Amino acid sequence: MTIKSVLFRFVQFISVSFMALFIAAVPPASAIEFISFGTGSPAGTYYFLGAGFASMINNQVPNVRVAAESTAASNENARLMIRGEMEMGLACMGTLNGIKEQGLDVDKIRLIAVGHTSDVHWIVRKESDIKTIADFKGKVIGVGPAGSATLNVVSKKHLKNGWGLTFEDFSPKYISFSEVTRGIRDETIDAGLIFAGAPLASVMELARDIPIRILDIQPDMLKGLRAQFSNVVPLTIPAGTYNGIDNDIHTYCLPQMWICRTDLSEDLVYKIIKAVYDNPEDRDAIHPMARMYTPENAFRGSPGVPVGYHPGAVKYYKEKGFWDKRAEHYE
């Protein structure tokens, strides 16, 4: 072997050694964790909140990418989480109780927070002969999309228990919020339900296009509903919220939950909630209802939810001094 060959092999050995040391010294790039965030109809509050929260989390939490998904809302979001096809989302209070009664394993889900309310808007054209919900008999009614709390809680349970109405008493249309406003505008439905936080851009636009009314809920009916459903909360939508509606609207709302899969890591959920709650200016700019996502509101009605809080959320609430005082914020 010549001296030239020996030198060549030595240089080769040194080069490979340095390359191996360099590769070993460079830490592997952190894997990106992808999170699917279930929302609702693009015309509803869920979608605006979910998209806004996703943007905040993506900006604040390294190596996490959250995608807001438009879905049929509450029931579908919860079911997708149970099946492992979605990591977190929004759902109406009462949703988990309902699907637990159907035999689904809700222990795969945990609470992150209780936040905004969804408000009952039963909408008709101003000239409609429907004056109260009792007048739905024989009419065509938009009751919400399949898989939503709009359909399964308000349209089914509340109409039956509050007014004695079943879907045999009228013709139900299983349509989204945007389809409800279109149906009222085109007169393909007589009344429709939009169950989302006021003020709603879609209802504001409809009220500018045509004269509408939002049905009042009579006090005795509301009292009866509250006797059966503890999470029903009286609500007044102030006069002038929607064009042409010059009187206060007396209706009701239900608290909404931010939920996630149980198997998400404590550290991840902690960072996610911190990203949203610790940046109030960005949070409040998302939608008027976003400002309701605060530690003070995070426990309202939670004793009636059949699952506990995620450890990451508990860590955050303890850090802020709310966890041990949560019973003061149940109402």
**Residue among 107, 47, 110, 101 at smallest CA distance from 73:** 47
**Residue among 172, 101, 105 at smallest CA distance from 142:** 172
- CA distance readout (Å), 242 to 1, 15, 157, 204, 248: 93, 74, 27, 5, 10
Domains of the chain: 33-116+257-329 (3.40.190.10), 118-254 (3.40.190.10)
How many CB atoms lie under 10 A from the CB of residue 28? 6
Cα–Cα–Cα angle for 173, 176, 179, rounded to 5 degrees: 80
Q: What is the pLDDT of residue 23?
A: 36
Pairing of strands 88-92, 233-237: unpaired
**Encoding tokens for residue 65?**
């990418």
CA dist., res. 85 & res. 66, Å (int): 14
The residue written with tokens 């209780």 in the block is 114
Q: What is the pLDDT of residue 318?
A: 98
Q: What is the pLDDT of residue 20?
A: 39
φ, ψ of residue 14 to 5 degrees: the values are: -65, -40
Pairing of strands 233-237, 249-261: antiparallel
Whole-structure pTM value: 0.77
CA dist., res. 33 & res. 88, Å (int): 13
Digitized pLDDT (tens) for each residue of the chain, 331 residues in all: 444 443 334 334 444 343 333 334 444 456 899 999 999 988 788 999 999 999 999 999 999 999 999 998 899 999 999 999 999 999 999 899 989 999 999 999 999 999 999 899 999 999 999 999 999 999 999 999 988 889 989 999 999 999 999 999 999 999 999 999 999 999 999 999 999 888 888 999 999 999 999 999 999 999 999 888 878 888 999 999 999 999 999 999 999 999 999 999 999 999 999 999 999 999 999 998 999 999 999 998 898 899 999 999 999 999 999 999 999 998 7
Altogether, the residues listed in the chain come to a count of 331
Q: What is the pLDDT of residue 30?
A: 63
